[in-house]
């Protein structure tokens, strides 16, 4: 498995501002993923972030709204830009280990007012 940390663990932000979420893993991994989990809902994949290449976004998610960086094999950031109340969610990063198993971080709970 892997030990994954996220910062911040929670935040309350004002409409129109941006928040950058950090994801750190304790071992080198090729594939990292960012998910959104709206209150009481399932997980929806935002994008896949491989080191050394541009992130691949899922339908409904765009780079201008959710820019992602992957500077090395243990770290990634997700920015939620120009936030609105609809962006209030839990944002989760995950890493792929042994080619298929995914392990999740604790999540960042975002409230936009």
Choice from 53, 60, 85, 100 touching other proteins (CB under 8 A):
100
> Is 96 an interacting residue with respect to other proteins (CB under 8 A)?
yes
What is the rounded CA–CA span in Å between residue 97 and residue 95? 6
Query: Number of residues in contact with other proteins, rule: CB under 8 A?
Result: 23
1 lies in the site for other proteins, by CB under 8 A:
yes
Cβ contacts of 94 within 8 Å, gap of 6 or more: 4, 32, 33, 35, 102, 103, 104, 105
- Taking the complex as a whole, the smallest distance from the CB of residue 82 to other proteins amounts, in Å, to 26
The distance of closest approach from Cβ of residue 26 to other proteins in the complex, given in angstroms and rounded to an integer, is 15
In angstroms, the CA 41 to CA 72 distance is 31
């Amino acid at each position: 498995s892997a030990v994954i940390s996220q910062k911040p663990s929670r935040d309350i932000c004002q409409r129109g501002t941006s928040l950058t979420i950090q994801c750190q893993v304790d071992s080198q991994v090729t594939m990292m993923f960012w998910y959104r989990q709206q209150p009481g809902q399932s997980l929806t994949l935002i994008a896949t972030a491989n080191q050394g290449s541009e992130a691949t976004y899922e339908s409904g998610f765009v780079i201008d709204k959710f820019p992602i960086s992957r500077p090395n094999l243990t770290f990634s950031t997700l920015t939620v830009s120009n936030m609105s109340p609809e962006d209030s969610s839990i944002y989760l990063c995950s890493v792929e280990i042994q080619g298929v198993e995914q392990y999740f971080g604790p999540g960042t709970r975002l409230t936009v007012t």
